[in-house]
Amino acid sequence: MKKILSILVIGLIFLLAACGDDEKEDNASKEANTNPQEVKMEKDEIVADDKVVIEINDTEVKGDRYNAVYLQTKMRVAQFGQDTGDKENIKEVTMNELIAQELIKQEATKSGIEVSDEDVQKEFEELKSQNEDNFNEYLEKFKLTEESLKDQIRFSQTLSNYMDQEIKVEEVTDEDIKETYEQLKKDMDDIMTFEEAEPIIKNQLTSQRKADALQQKVEDLMKQSEIEKHI
């Protein structure tokens, strides 16, 4: 479950990056409003904003960032029907997510991948305009400030660029698509035609292969890195 949850958190970051798309924005809005009163951080889950929670190759990650990612993780756990009372699991997933984010950022820097302030600001303004009436509530709900939200946007753009440039996977073949479609037909009584399903299946298989490759890359980087946890 820990691996799945980690990918889900990365998925949230992608969701922020794609907030300009109307359909995805609607889905994000629906998810963000799922039982908002039920998903909160208790006192024993909150870390002081200035406390160093983890060091990754001499880079310090502090409590303010931990708290935001922890809450987002807990929300995703709730939305997918998992146990939000398992605080140790949520903490571990959060720590692994912070490690993954930082290692990807460090690798992106080594690869010369940069995200401009202008691109970050543009996406920030788009997100803000879509939530103009309750933007401050949005920030408070996710334990974000404008700057930390921009940091997440910057990372989402960095991750997207990194995956496009550095994560290479085998191309999905026609045979892969046909095999997946036939498997789906066995499980679904009412399925769209192959012609309709083909581009959807291709995108899904490609995304899954990239997610698996990214997961493996992060695991390899973790083995090579100096990581010290403080909580």
- What are the boundaries of each domain within the chain? 2-169
Arithmetic mean of pLDDT over the chain: 84
**pTM of the complete model:** 0.78
pLDDT of residue 103: 95
Give the model confidence (pLDDT) of 168-201 as tens digits: 999 999 999 999 999 998 888 888 999 999 999 9
Whether the per-residue pLDDT at 43 is higher than 70: the answer is: yes
Distances (CA, A) of 151 to 68, 70, 178, 228: 11, 16, 41, 22
pLDDT above 70 as % of the chain = 84
Cβ neighbours, 10 Å, residue 178: 13
106 exposed, middle or buried (CB, 10 Å; 0-12, 13-18, 19+)? middle
When pLDDT is averaged across residues 199-219 and rounded to a whole number, the result is 91
Give the model confidence (pLDDT) of 112-121 as tens digits: 999 999 999 9
Whether the per-residue pLDDT at 147 is higher than 90: the answer is: yes
pLDDT above 90 as % of the chain = 62
* End-to-end Cα distance, the chain: 21
pLDDT of residue 7: 43
Q: How confident is the model at residue 137 (pLDDT cuts 50, 70, 90)?
A: confident
Cβ neighbours, 10 Å, residue 143: 19
pLDDT of residue 95: 95
Whether the per-residue pLDDT at 31 is higher than 70: the answer is: no
- Which CATH number fits the domain 2-169, given the four candidates 1.10.10, 1.10.4030, 1.10.287, 2.60.40? 1.10.4030
Q: What is the 3-state secondary structure (H, E, C) of 164-195?
A: HHHCCCCCCCHHHHHHHHHHHHHHCCCCCCHH
Q: How confident is the model at residue 62 (pLDDT cuts 50, 70, 90)?
A: very high
